[in-house]
Chain A
Amino acid sequence: MDLYLQFGYGMMDHCRVLLSSWGGGTAILSPRDLTDEQLRRLGADIAGIAGGESLLDPQFYLPHSDHKKLCKHGYWPNDYDTTMFWQGPPLAALLRHLGKLNRDVGCKRMILPGLFAAAVDEDWLETQGAVLEESRATEVELPLIATIALSAEAIKNTEQVSLLLERAEEWKADAYYLVCEHPDGQYLVEDPNWLANVLDIAAGLRFDGAEVILGYCTHQMLLAASAKVNAVASGTWMNVRSFPPTKFVTAYEDEIKQRTTWYYCPQALSEYKIPFLDIAHRLGILGLMAPPANLDGGYVAHLLSGVQPSTVGFTEQAAFRHYLHALRAQTRAIDQTTFDTAMASHQNSLDTAERLLQRLRGSNVSGQLRDFNQIVDVNRAALGLFASLRGPILKRMWNSI
């Protein structure tokens, strides 16, 4: 499994630096955060990095949006008519515009627009099919990635999940960009049913022979390797690590204004505010929180150098780069040789995290809302359910999907 960068506010330099340091990689660019000109410039920069690839998320989830940055893009329709738009000329025009923009940015594959599904119903399914059909007819000259954007309620509903998978068998897309709204706005999802259903959808799409890119992820989605997901995408701020549809309607700057810096402890699958690192430092257990060498990109050496963490000026920039570097290393460390090894890899990381979290919590070092302590069992339950639904067939088909 690979990690793609999910572009968000202020990520231009992160993309350049991280992709360069990794010797390549993929960034999913965000029109919400970049003008046409910035998209072209960043796309060119990424294309200049050996192994660098850009994808463009058209963010057409809620076309009624009056998000001013989105509406400024040339591809965004001036006049959106709900009923007529998806039947022919307006859709074809959108796809042509997007095709050109994708080529200008240097994308080698094109993410198709996809409506946000509050519920998976016939209307939405028809629209999905129409986008694929029209995009094939429009000849955008790029391999296509279909978007599936789902509400938390749709994902939790097993009948809707089954309906989606039934119909997706007919779409025959080469790849899917799957974006899933977290329930109740949670950063780390506490509902194992939601999590298992995301895995179920991903696995079902993989069985259709399609590649699956899971967008807007936190490290909690490392378990997606068990569904043989090809890539998870993550970014800097919370609003690119989860999929809040509202951010595509109005500006979503509150979190950015708050500017809390978090340190990601990858072996604990948890993030910590710096004052809690001070506590760990004073209790002599900060060393336990240092990233293992294989997950360490060198961004946190000064933070964990032995002096009081809050005094070293640990920056937001370093925090983000460390998070993304460690997460990429974690995605790549998962042994996806077989279904069983992929499951065992995640189970082992949960076990490791649980042991460390017990130790840290024993010393009152907490990640608060980003602490994985309560989430370990959520991921275990989701994996258990997923294994009972898909495990036997995944074991057999692993090497052919």
Chain B
Amino acid sequence: MSLPDEQWLKSTFADLRDFAALGQGGQKIVYVATHKTDGKIVLKIIHPRTDVETVRREILAVQQVQSLRVPRILEYGKCSSNLGDCIWLREQLIDGPTVRELLAAGPMEAKSVLRLGLHILEALDKTEAAKIVHRDVKPENIMRDPTGAFWLLDYGIARHLELSSLTATGLPFGKMTLGYAPPEQCRNMKSDIDSRADLFALGVTLHECAVGNNGFFDPPPRDHLELLRRVERWVLPPVALPIADAANFQDLVNSLTQKSRVHRPRTIKAALAWLQEICAKEGVS
């Protein structure tokens, strides 16, 4: 998808100015721009090839979740471009690095790890309450703002448990990011996917933030099939976060990353309550 020219942007989005391209993927182009009343925002222009229902579900998910830890969609609509009719989204801007970018400097400090866990569980708690599974919790989809708060992004492959699935049932692999998704999601066992899938992915993410790398990638796997086998079989090494309640944190991460969802906490709320206890002792909120 080629970048639209600035004239087209200005004429199509008259309320916006100061466009700066932020990034471009296969499915969307992302800009930072200034809105006349909302200030700095993110503008996403979705490629016309993208399935409209998938985009509609993403918008619906963010609207239903209503979490203060998830960037709001301020407005959305359709526009015509030289490539065809596109959907666009105007979102709240989170000004800060992704956790993936933070990890380039090595493991995160203990209190940041705890805060990340706490804030993302708060977002997932709302997600669970809306009967939605995010399905793509990973360092790339978490951002830290200048106040140190963490935000959960990208409900692009979220599963609405009360709506029909958009993923073909017969496919051997489900929508996911290998190395973070739990075995049941990797294997596209749709009836087994609930909020405990997000707990697994968050557990892997917390482990990575604490030690600096994703244990399933160390040493680098030969291919995606080997990585899948590791996710299904490997137990992540113990994590020793330098906090007073280190054993309890290790227990939590161990529980979150259990291969079978029956061994994970039953709900996001249960995991959140667990981490809140640890955070309270460390003065993390």
Contact = CB atoms under 8 A, between A and B. Distances in A.
Nearest to A208: B266
Contacts of B251: 391-392, 395
Contact of A388 (B192, B254, B262, B266): B254
Interface string B114-150: 0000000000000000000000000000000000000
Given A207-B266, A388-B254, A391-B251, A396 B274 contact: yes
B89 to A, nearest CB: 36
B213 interface: no
* Chain A facing B: main interface SS: helix
A81 interface: no
B174 interface: no
B229 interface: no
A283 interface: no
A396 B264 CA distance: 13
Interface string A114-148: 00000000000000000000000000000000000
B262 A162 contact: yes
A395 B255 CA distance: 11
Given A391-B251, A392-B255, A162 B260 contact: yes
- Which of the four size classes fits the interface of chain B? 10 to 19
Contacts of B266: 207
B274 A158 contact: no
A391 B251 CA distance: 8
B265 A393 contact: yes
Most buried by B among A207, A388, A395, A396: A396
A392 B260 CA distance: 15
A245 B265 CA distance: 35
A14 B262 CA distance: 40
A286 B12 CA distance: 96
Contacts of B235: 388
Interface in A351-401: 388-393, 395-396
A388 B258 CA distance: 9
A291 interface: no
A165 interface: yes
Contacts of A389: 258, 263
A392 B192 contact: no
Contact of B262 (A165, A392, A395, A396): A165
A8 interface: no
Contacts, number: 26
A166 B265 contact: no
B264 to A, nearest CB: 8
B192 A390 contact: no
Interface residues of A, number: 15
B161 interface: no
B252 interface: yes
Contact of B255 (A162, A166, A204, A393): A393
B260 A390 contact: no
Given A166-B192, A395-B251, A390 B263 contact: yes
Contacts of A204: 262
A158 B263 CA distance: 12
Nearest to B184: A162
A389 B260 CA distance: 9
Contacts of B192: 166
A158 B260 contact: yes
A166 to B, nearest CB: 6
A15 to B, nearest CB: 37
A162 B263 CA distance: 9
A207 B196 CA distance: 15
Interface in B236-277: 251-252, 254-255, 258, 260-263, 265-266, 274
B117 to A, nearest CB: 15
A204 B266 CA distance: 11
A395 B254 CA distance: 13
A208 B155 CA distance: 31
Most buried by A among B192, B235, B262, B274: B262
Interface of B: 192, 235, 251-252, 254-255, 258, 260-263, 265-266, 274
20 contacts: A162-B260, A162-B261, A162-B262, A166-B192, A166-B261, A166-B262, A200-B263, A204-B262, A389-B258, A390-B263, A391-B251, A392-B251, A392-B252, A392-B254, A392-B255, A393-B255, A393-B263, A393-B265, A395-B251, A396-B274
Which 7 A-B pairs give the minimum distances between C-beta atoms?
A392-B251, A165-B262, A162-B260, A392-B255, A389-B263, A162-B262, A393-B255
Given A392-B252, A393-B255, A396-B274, 19 more contacts: A162-B260, A162-B262, A165-B262, A166-B192, A166-B261, A166-B262, A200-B263, A204-B262, A207-B266, A388-B235, A388-B254, A389-B258, A389-B263, A391-B251, A392-B251, A392-B254, A392-B255, A393-B265, A395-B251
